[in-house]
Amino acid sequence: MKKKLGIVLALLIALSLVACGKEAGGGSSDGQGKSDAPLEREDDSSKKSEVVESKTDEDEKSGEDIGSGSVGFSSISDMQSATDVIWGKQDDISRQEIIDAARAEGMDVSFGADGSMTIVDTDGSVLIQNPDGSWTQKDEDGTISQLGGSWPSNEFTKLIPDPGFAVLGLSASDDEFTAAFQGASVDDIKAYADKIKAKGFTVDAEEQDREVYGMTIYTYEAYNDDGYYVSVFFTSGTSGVTVSK
């Protein structure tokens, strides 16, 4: 799995540091890209040659391609498949081929009755494709990372409103929760910050709304009476929220 979720979320968090004014010149063009690049099945007209092979090549690949979609297992475990390809909902033969290919790489794969797929890597980390096509990774240290999917329920999200924005990615540990949003405008984030204030995050509050090198930057940071910290930000089309204790 190569901790691809962690890498993506690290980039998103780096962008949040830009938003907080700690760096003014950082780029933001790479923060949303490569981990969820589409992977089409064989019957799709826009095949990508590096991950989709024709049946005539299958023997030469020595079992590298699996299932009726002829998709390499490494592509699946690296989360390069589109969310409309739900591996847990494929036919029995395809799922068994996935299990066999994973076992050959020292990994264990299982499928849930709900259409989920669970991959246990050699380092103990667990990667799950949820029935809606989103990906969740659970590392051995307990950190949970997610690409796409829905707004979660945990200790931190209970303290702030559900933003109602599309979730680009998130990460949750015992001490902190971070989410990156997709499609939210700066006005949306300002309105969301007002809802966060109404939830009691007003202690030692700091708010910034400015232009830096042509980029619109907005941040709101504050604590609540219980000592939890929140930061909500928008910069150059990238936005998100962090809650920590």
Over residues 80-95, the pLDDT tens digits come to 444 467 888 888 998 8
pLDDT tens digit sequence for 62-119: 334 444 333 455 656 555 444 467 888 888 998 898 898 888 888 899 999 999 999 8
Residue type, 228: Y
- Segment 32-52 shows an average pLDDT of 37
The domain limits of the chain are: 4-180
> Residue 178: in which H helix or E strand, if any?
strand 176-182
pLDDT tens track for 118-174: 988 888 888 888 888 888 888 877 788 888 888 999 999 999 999 999 988 898 988
State whether residue 93 is helix, strand or coil.
helix
Q: Determine what percent of the chain is predicted with pLDDT higher than 70.
A: 66
Give the residue from 133, 137, 134 showing the smallest Cα distance to 121: 137
Strand (E) or helix (H) holding 100: helix 92-104
**pLDDT single digits (tens) 207-235:** 999 988 888 999 999 999 999 999 999 99
Please name the residue that has the structure tokens 């089309």: 237
Task: Note whether 19 and 238 are within 8 A (CB).
Answer: yes
- Cα 103 to Cα 57, 80, 100, 107, 138, distances in angstroms: 22, 20, 5, 5, 19
Q: According to the model, what pLDDT value does residue 144 have?
A: 82
